[in-house]
Structure 1
């Protein structure tokens, strides 16, 4: 297996042995992919090959990440992300209701039009961590079922595109769900003559990125 560049521009073998091996941005991308493999193994395999790493290296990176997260003597979540990903590409103030936090954004080479966002509260605690659209990127046009393909959009984009979206509890800490009503096709945007507004769907997201869409029924007007 060929070596791959880490975020500092050096080369090493992902998942290689060695007590002093740094956990790099490359390793972090493997952690994101490992969670997504449950829903989209073919997309993950293609991405892993583009990174030039083995399935074993992906599993090892995830194992090391979980050990860091669960270590009682480990860094705080905010410090851990900074250690792995470096200084944020940008930071911005975010207001959520009556609360204020700092949004820290890092580029993710696998998805150049996305950023990994960490929301950090005033006490330094991490409130949320997921993939979002890069600032200034227009993002996808989401209008119908056909537009909601795996990895096509983020949680906030789907919620904005389909009014009335309801959040659902995810099956794991890095997973989210949305209940959506989505037109079948461009011909049914709006209210068609038979009064059917679209399809009731459940969209599932991992690390904030759409993984799959399940149609659960029709929504009538």
Structure 2
């Protein structure tokens, strides 16, 4: 018999498939049923999802971690689209990648003007896709819209601090099914609507 190597096997590359699981792991806190359906679509187990998240956190927190912009490029490849977005008076570059699980969305990384610091990282509507028609509270279902879409549909929307780095909140008023305007708090994970709390 051949002698077995005493070294540990090299870790497999972290792929777009694995990155889906990182996004889903955070969303499972609010919408376990939707995440379970997505897991079955991807053909992965809960253990696979936990392992992908563990590896991602290790990459992010490693003392030798590469800059966030480089990390996204290494995992997701060359951006499908590069856009210029204005943030106040500044022009920033936005990198967009497709994710097969959400074909109408793109994962966007917004870079600071220095080109290496990441200012924001979340899901946005694909440039060529028509967004949802958001008119009432009934239209605001989990995974139906992005932060930007909700803010545009129900101005003025006030941003709220999220409970974790990948979470955002918006407070705004929107009509219910009877036309009564209600104050609501919308919670988003990785930029995608997760749940609505009516005040």
> Same fold by TM-score, threshold 0.5 exceeded?
yes
Q: TM-score range by the shorter chain?
A: over 0.9
1:82 alignment partner, one of 73, 84, 96: 73
Question: Tell me, which stretches of 5 or more residues in structure 2 are unaligned?
Answer: 1-7
Per-residue CA distance 1:152-209 (angstroms, 9 max, x = gap): 0000000000011100000000000000101002x52xxxxxxx5x010000000000
How far, CA to CA, are the matches of 1:34 and 1:18 in structure 2? Answer: 26
1:205 alignment partner, one of 188, 194, 197: 188
Q: Contact 2:158 / 2:170 at 8 angstroms: preserved in 1?
A: yes
Shift, 1:147, TM fit = 0.1
**Residue 97 (structure 1) aligns with:** 88
What secondary structure sits across from 1:141 in the alignment?
Answer: coil
Mapping of residues 9-48 of structure 1, within 5 Å: 18-48=9-39
How far, CA to CA, are the matches of 1:19 and 1:74 in structure 2? Answer: 17
Question: Tell me, which stretches of 5 or more residues in structure 1 are unaligned?
Answer: 1-16, 189-195, 217-221
**Residue 8 (structure 1) aligns with:** none
How far, CA to CA, are the matches of 1:163 and 1:74 in structure 2? Answer: 39
What secondary structure sits across from 2:141 in the alignment?
Answer: coil
TM-score, normalisation: structure 2: 0.94
2:176 alignment partner, one of 169, 177, 184: 184
Shift, 1:215, TM fit = 0.3
What secondary structure sits across from 1:116 in the alignment?
Answer: strand
TM-score, normalisation: structure 1: 0.84
**Residue 4 (structure 2) aligns with:** none
Shift, 1:19, TM fit = 2.7
RMSD of aligned C-alpha atoms? 1.1
1:172 alignment partner, one of 164, 169, 191: 164
**Residue 49 (structure 1) aligns with:** 40
Runs of 4+ in structure 1 deviating by more than 4 angstroms, as ranges, are none
